[in-house]
Amino acid sequence: MRSESAATVITVYSVWNESGYFRVGLDLYSWTRRSTAKTNRNFACGFDVVLFFIEKHFLFGGIFMKKLLSIILAVTVFAAAFGVISVSAEENDKTVSVIVVNNTYSKENGAPWSGVLFNATVTLGEDDSMESVIERAVSENDYSFTVSDYGYISEINGLTEYAYNGSGGWMATLNNWFTADGTGAYTVANGGLQSGDEIVMMYTCAWGADVGSLYGDFNTTLSVDEFGFRGSYISEATTQEFFVPEILDYTIEINASEDVISFLAVPTNKNYQARVYKNEYQPDVNGAEYRGGKNVPVKDGDVIYIGVGNPSWPTMNSWAGTAEETVYTFKIKYVPLLGDLNGNGKLDIDDVTILQRSFAEFEELSEKQKEIADINGDKAVDILDATAIQRVIAEFDA
């Protein structure tokens, strides 16, 4: 029903567009959406408001337009009143990821199941906590769970705590960190749980040691097996294999003047947090980090800092003593592609146009652009370079 209503509105748009009334149609649609979002109380005065708009902006609004508009508004009111068009507020777009996994207790050894049970996206409400979204995710995916007398989850889909030699149980990470407190302590209200977070509920057979929760271990390096990063324009010369946990300083080359990079910063010991910062390391400033290492905008000269195990950050290992934090730096270096005159990380027709305009003396290339423009390496910027770029665009040359 809702899709049919939407099609009707689009058809009206098309008619108005051909008649020169697209702007009126757009304003009307926006107004009706705003009105329905606030319930229907504004519709009564809405007729007069929109009719006044047409009479003010179009000298020939006239009787025809008034009648047409009245029909459209009447249909809209009717549809909203009977549920054809939703009158609710915008849907909540805040979500978290919840993954339930058992990679430690095999079916061969007696587990009822193993592997990833599910990977779900859960809508986040104002009253939610880690605990509530885990329970809701399990329930919504039609699996059983049991909450112990002590308030923690002791069973999921038949896999219970102590099932493996009395040392098994369920543990949860928040953005690759085993939280220092119970899952109920991290809420939307206190900022401990936020949209975009990832929760992994995992089974351990060894009190956490087999899933990266190492009590009494003060290792604050990043995991060589799990560290990584991704962006749209990272140079082929920058590979993931260059990372060694004991080396602290690196360079990431990008082939565009700007990029957005996400870092998978997973500590070797997940009892410690890893936090990502740009251009200034501020471990004592809450919220200064890029949460989860996601979507860090970078350009030439930026420096990314990844700290692990800062003494001021919470950890369940605090009872055993204070660890010495480790801080990694990643310098961003812009290395343009030959022929990429506009710095967007690829060769396209805009680069050819810039070169041709320079030939016609409509614009002058910078010294850096002249260096980049010499794609054939003959020490001259000429039509041969423009042809070389065009051949790459056409995929004649790699």
How far is residue 234's CA from residue 251's CA, in Å, rounded to a whole number? 11
Q: Over range 168-197, report the average pLDDT.
A: 96
Average pLDDT over residues 336-346: 85
Range of the domain at 268: 228-334
Looking at the structure, do residues 137 and 171 belong to the same domain, yes or no? Answer: yes
What band does 173 get if pLDDT is binned at 50, 70 and 90? very high
Q: Is the dihedral of CA 352, 356, 359, 361 positive or negative?
A: negative
List the alpha helices (DSSP H) in 247-366: 349-359
Separation of CA 11 from chain center: 34
The answer as to whether 340 is a domain residue is no
Do 290 and 235 lie in a common domain?
A: yes
Hey, what are 83's tokens? 């549920």
Among 47, 81, 115, residue at a domain's last position: 81
Question: Are 65 and 147 contained in the same domain?
Answer: no
**CB-CB contact of 51 with 69 (8 Å):** yes
Question: Do 100 and 77 fall within a single domain?
Answer: no
Q: Take residue 119 and report the two structure tokens written for it.
A: 């990977």
Per-residue pLDDT for 50 more than 50? Answer: no
Question: So what's the pLDDT on residue 102?
Answer: 98
The CATH number given to whatever domain includes residue 200 is 2.170.130.30
Q: For residues 10 and 29, what is the distance between their CA atoms, to the nearest angstrom?
A: 10
Burial class of 187 by CB neighbour count within 10 A (0 to 12, 13 to 18, 19+): middle
Whether pLDDT at 394 is above 50: yes
pLDDT of residue 167: 85
Domain contains 146: yes
Residue 87 pLDDT exceeds 70: no
Q: Which of 373, 370, 383, 363 is nearest to 338 (CA)?
A: 373
Answer with the one of 150, 184, 211 that is the final residue of a domain.
211
Q: Are residues 181 and 276 in the same domain?
A: no
Which residue did the predictor score with more confidence, 320 or 213?
213
**Alpha helices, DSSP H, located in the chain:** 2-18, 22-37, 43-57, 62-81, 130-140, 349-359, 367-373, 383-393
CA distance 184 to 103: 24
In this predicted model, what pLDDT tens digit does every residue of 121-144 receive, in sequence order?
999 999 999 999 999 999 999 999
Residue 108 and residue 204 share a domain: yes
Residue 260 lies in a domain: yes
Q: Tell which residue, 306, 301, 222, 221, has the closest CA to residue 262.
A: 306
Whether residues 151 and 179 fall in one domain = yes
| Residue 223, in any domain of the structure | no
CA atoms of 75 and 73, how far apart (whole Å): 5
Last residue of a domain, one of 184, 211, 238: 211
Is residue 52 predicted with pLDDT exceeding 50? no
Q: Is residue 55's pLDDT more than 60?
A: no
Contact 307, 325 (CB under 8 A): yes
The answer as to whether 125 is a domain residue is yes
Same domain, 105 and 198: yes
Domain membership flag for residue 49: yes
Whole-number average pLDDT of the chain: 80
Please choose, from the candidates 321, 319, 212, 225, the residue with its C-alpha nearest in 3D space to the C-alpha of residue 273.
Answer: 212
Taking only the tens place, the pLDDT of each residue in 30-47 is 333 333 333 333 333 343
Among 219, 224, 226, smallest CA distance to 247 is for 224
Q: 355 or 18, which is more confident?
A: 355
Q: Are residues 273 and 201 in the same domain?
A: no
Residues 204 and 110 in one domain: yes
* 50/139 same-domain check: no
pLDDT, position 56:
43
| Tally of structural domains, the chain | 4
pLDDT of res. 3 = 38
Statement to judge: residues 327 and 238 lie in one domain: yes
385 located within any domain = yes
Whole-number Å distance between alpha carbons of 234 and 261: 9
**d(C-alpha 194, C-alpha 187), whole Å:** 8
Quick check: is 343 in a domain? no
